[in-house]
Structure 1
Amino acid sequence: MPKPTVRTSGRHDLILDQLLDAAEGLFARQGVAGTSLSELADAIGLTRTGVYHYVKGKDELLEHLVRGFTLETADKLTDLAGEVSRPADVRLREGVSSMAKRIAEHPRRFRLLLTSEDSFPEAIAKQHRAARRATLDAMITLIDQVKAEGGARPVDTRLAAFALLGVTNWMAFWYQADQVGDRTPQQVADLLTSIALDGVFSQRADSVDSLKGVVALLHEDVDRLSQFVDGPSG
């Protein structure tokens, strides 16, 4: 009688990560429908039967990919939006940075989700769409909270939310470790977050001791509000 397979949680997680890595490449090249479970097994040196010790099939692999990015991102931002005892600008910065870091660590995996979502099975697609809506809603809430605390420019909240999400999502298409010097994913994420939030955060805190600086910012805000009210010229 064969000995039962011994699976420690550490080994299970390691093999599952290897399966997810293999799925990234194969799904991206061949599509989900065009990739067989045998190909996934061959890619990491397992038998087809061996794969079933870790996942039930390709749909479960897809669900792991969606959960690891879309659902966890939505949960993180939703939690941050609810932590109203902390300053909103700190929470918004943390949320954008955490999204950027996660994408920098696995750009190909996130790129696959962005480009393959139309081919997801309906049950997974439904989770994916709901999580994306929750992410947008949480981002909007965080920006509104920053505005309510006086820490934001008079930006259009929804457009600002789309802009911040777009900046982080686009990392999946350009980020490569050999193009950012010796910076870690966290360092890159923090730098990108600072650049992105410059268009949202007010600089008044840095100018309170300068009347001229305050007046300049007031003029800037009036100009922005005028553009928003009047709309594009021509």
Structure 2
Amino acid sequence: MAKPTIRSAGRHDLVLEQLLDAAETLFARQGVAGTSLQELADAVGLTRTGIYHYINGKDDLLEQLVRGFTLETAESLRALAERTDESAADRLHTAVKSMAQRVAEHPKRFRLLLTSEDSFPETLAKQHRAARRETLLAMSSIIDQAKTEGSCRPVDTAHTAFALIGVANWVAFWYPRPGQDSDSPAQIAAELADIALGGVLSSRSVDAGAGAIPGALALLREDVARLDHLLADLPQPPT
């Protein structure tokens, strides 16, 4: 079989994107079970036979949906957690920003993902659940790295990871705002990351004078909490 040309590959991706757009509307209105392949084909100007050049069926569309969000997010965050060329604080900002931007680019599609979870075939459902766990673990790892390097406040790691993921995911329910000019997904994501991490990352600055004492004490408490975190990671002596 001849390899696809750049043109044919581009055509395939374009039609697949149109099918996902059609699925956003039809699945949301009628449900996955209530939508036929013929309706999906009609929505993008394909025949019932022609649609099989792009997908194998509705399960294939659901898999594309899961890959575009859950699986790719897990892969991206896992790679960020393993990097050593940037500070953990910078990587944490990138993690939140990239998640929020992915959702902001296709908010309806993300909402469809959430409402279609019960329709996933078992194999796909397992992949979806595993990727969500990996996303949480990767986010938690980056937070712990930030705590170790001293750029993160002594926050509860699990609570913070859930909160940051929640901030990114919630974009799907309010962006873009109806009747108002909206910033681009990239701008929204960057602003949300700044807001979300404002209460997580440590500034480590204390003003001079008598009023600096409470701030200095707060920094000391952060350092003690960081020391506790580092000691907890040390191997325990044999009893």
Tell me if TM exceeds 0.5. Answer: yes
2:110 alignment partner, SS class: helix
Long gaps (5+) in structure 2: 225-239
1:63 touches 1:124 (CA, 8 Å); kept in 2?
yes
> Equivalents in 1 of 2:140, 2:52: separation in Å?
41
CA contact (8 A) 1:139 1:161 kept: yes
2:84 aligns to what SS in structure 1?
coil
Paired residue for 2:217?
218
Corresponding residue SS for 1:128: helix
Partners of 2:180 and 2:149 lie apart in 1 by 35
State which drifts further: 119-128 or 155-164: 119-128
Tell me the distance in 2 between the aligned counterparts of 1:15 and 1:67: 17
* TM-score, normalised by the number of residues in structure 1: 0.86
> How has the CA–CA distance of structure 1 residues 135 and 213 changed in structure 2, closer, same or farther, with 3 Å as cutoff?
farther
The percentage of counterpart residues that share the same residue type is 63
Cross-structure match for 2:197: 197
Q: Please state how far the C-alpha of 1:214 moved relative to its aligned partner.
A: 7.0
The aligned residue for residue 92 of structure 1 is 92
Separation in 2, partners of 1:170, 1:13 = 28
Q: How does 1:61-210 map to 2 (within 5 A)?
A: 61-176=61-176, 181-204=181-204, 207=205, 210=208
C-alpha displacement of 1:208: 5.1
Q: Distance in 1 between matches of 2:216 and 2:32?
A: 52
Compared with structure 1, are the counterparts of its residues 213 and 84 closer, same or farther at alpha carbon in structure 2 (3 Å cutoff)?
Answer: farther
Tell me how far 1:115 sits from its aligned partner: 1.9
Q: Quote the offset at 1:184 in angstroms.
A: 1.2
Alpha-carbon offset, residue 217 of structure 1? 5.5
Cα distance per residue 1:78-134 (max 9 Å; x no partner): 000000232000001001101101111000001111122122111111110010000
Unaligned 5+ segments in structure 1 are: 1-5, 226-234
Q: What CA deviation, in whole Å up to 9, does each residue of 1:4-32 have, x standing for no partner?
A: xx971111110000001101111111111
CA distance in 2, matches of 1:220, 1:146: 15
Q: Measure how far apart 1:222 and its partner are.
A: 5.0
